[in-house]
Amino acid sequence: MTTEPAPPDDPALGAIVDRIRAARAAGTKLRLRGGGSKDFYGGPLAGEVLDLRPLAGISRHEPTELVVSARAGTPLAELEEALAAHGQWLPFEPPRFGPGATVGGMVAAGLAGPARASQGSVRDYVLGATLLDGRGELLGFGGQVMKNVAGYDVSRLLTGSMGILGVICEVSFKIMPRPPGSATLRFDMDEATALRRLAEWSGQPLPLSASAWWDGTLVLRLAGAHAAVDAAAQRLGGEAVEPALAASFWEGLRDQRDEFFAAAGRAVAGGAALWRLALPSTAPPLRLTDQQLIEWGGAQRWLCCALPAATVRDAAASLGGHATLWRGGDRAAGVFAPLAPALARIHRELKRAFDPDGVFNPGRLIADL
């Protein structure tokens, strides 16, 4: 029912619209790409690259509104720097994996860092988005205000969509003041004890911010008002980690450059697979491999192993979660867990609604879409 819209007056946007229309007319596919820092993630790469970096820039940052809007190609580093200048940040600590990471990639992948369990995920901070659908039509959903229930929540649906619904052009986020105080504690603790303690602490009014357990060591980050952090640090005990060392540890974990992921990278080069398991945080120890890192209070577990995919997937599913083949392994069998039939049908229909000719990122999120 909609007529062909007038071309947008923005040249970067106009060029993308032209590419979409041309691909649609020619029956070709487009592979949406920012800095390429997450090329490794998800299903196989297919289609002509549509580089979204020209669509860049922070369009609006109003510190007192707690809102920032940025175009998809904006380097994540640029956005974080602009926020830091006002003592603000993206509390979900999106991983960057490399210097080229962009805002659009962060939203499309929907990946969060160490603070996920305490601060929420990418979509929890998305307020609105504009996208170009498979017809090259510019659509806007949500907005730049904190509360908005006008119509379906399309902007959150786009978060983590891996670009299969359209080109995410610009996104507005709720941002937060950076907590003034922070402390990192280290404990010698076995896996089962660490999981139990994390669950107990999480149920108490403590300023927990992030956790990581591997190889008999639990590292815990507190963040909040100075008074609350100091009181909690005193109560929890453990060994205080020097702030500069702690900061570099959490940064390394966030970007997967730390010791565990470095070792995993070597194992993957030698034929192993790195799996990401998303589980209810109280799931018991898996005991599938010794090469394991546990984050998010138990809800995100990284396994590096050469076990059959079915073993890992079944273990995750039996505990109420799912497993993603993160790096390495046999990717031909699919990297994401399969969908239940009722959900698979809805996915197909949504894909058809947004991208009727299947122009965008075929197979990147779901094998046949």
Q: Identify residues 86-105 at the interface with other proteins (CB under 8 A).
A: 87
Q: Does 284 bind other proteins (CB under 8 A)?
A: no
- Confirm or reject binding of residue 309 to other proteins (CB under 8 A): no
Q: Which residue in the set 11, 85, 152, 215 belongs to the binding site for other proteins (CB under 8 A)?
A: 152
Nearest distance in Å: CB 261, other proteins: 19
Burial of 322 from C-beta contacts in 10 A (0-12 / 13-18 / 19+) = middle
CB of 345 to other proteins, least distance (A): 9
The answer to the question of residue 278 lying near other proteins (CB under 8 A) is: yes
Interacting positions 161-180 with other proteins (CB under 8 A): 161, 165, 169-170, 176-178, 180
Residue 240 Cβ vs other proteins, minimum distance, rounded to whole Å: 19
Going by DSSP bridges, is the β-strand pair 58-62/126-132 parallel, antiparallel, or unpaired?
A: unpaired
Binding status of residue 322 toward other proteins by CB under 8 A: yes
Give the DSSP H or E segment for 227: helix 226-236
Q: Interface with other proteins includes 266 (CB under 8 A)?
A: no
Looking at residues 173 to 212 of the shown chain, list those that interact with other proteins (rule: CB under 8 A). 176-178, 180, 196, 199-200, 202-206
- Asked whether the beta carbons of 67 and 173 are under 8 A apart, the reply is yes
Residue selected from 5, 243, 284, 308 as contacting other proteins according to rule CB under 8 A: 5
36 Rama sector, left if φ>0, alpha if ψ -120 to 50, beta otherwise: left
Total number of residues that touch other proteins (CB under 8 A): 101
What is the footprint of other proteins within residues 132-151 (CB under 8 A)?
133, 137-141, 143-151
If the CB atoms of residues 144 and 263 are measured against other proteins, the closer one turns out to be 144
Q: Does 318 engage in binding with other proteins (CB under 8 A)? A: no
Closer by beta carbon to other proteins, 258 or else 295: 295
Q: For residue 41, how far is the Cα from the chain centroid? A: 11
Give 101's contacts (C-beta < 8 A, 6+ positions apart).
34, 35, 37, 38, 75, 76, 77, 94, 95
- 106 contributes a contact to other proteins by CB under 8 A: no
CA dist., res. 210 & res. 212, Å (int): 7
Find the binder of other proteins among 39, 48, 62, 81 (CB under 8 A). Answer: 62
280 binds other proteins (CB under 8 A): yes
Q: Which stretch binds other proteins (CB under 8 A): 46-54, 93-101, 210-218, 350-358?
A: 350-358
- Which CB sits closer to other proteins, 139 or 247? 139
Question: From the list 117, 189, 219, 222, which residue makes contact with other proteins (rule: CB under 8 A)?
Answer: 117
Residue 357 binds other proteins (CB under 8 A)? no
Task: Rule CB under 8 A: say whether 227 interacts with other proteins.
Answer: yes
Edge-to-edge strands of the sheet including 138-142?
A: 58-62, 67-71, 167-174, 126-132, 138-142
Q: Does 286 bind other proteins (CB under 8 A)?
A: no
The 10 Å CB-count burial string (b at 16+, else e) for 49-88 is ebbbbebbebeebeeeeebbbbbbbbbbeebbebbeeeeb
Specify the stretch interacting with other proteins by CB under 8 A; choose among 32-40, 45-53, 184-192, 349-357.
349-357
What is the distance in angstroms between the CA of the first residue and the CA of the last residue of the chain? 24
What is the distance between the alpha carbons of residues 181 and 228, in angstroms, rounded to a whole number?
8
* Residue 342 within binding range of other proteins, rule CB under 8 A: yes
Q: Is 330 exposed, middle or buried (0-12, 13-18, 19+ CB in 10 A)?
A: exposed
CA–CA gap between residue 344 and residue 348 (Å, rounded): 6
Q: How far is the CB of 366 from other proteins (least distance, A)?
A: 6
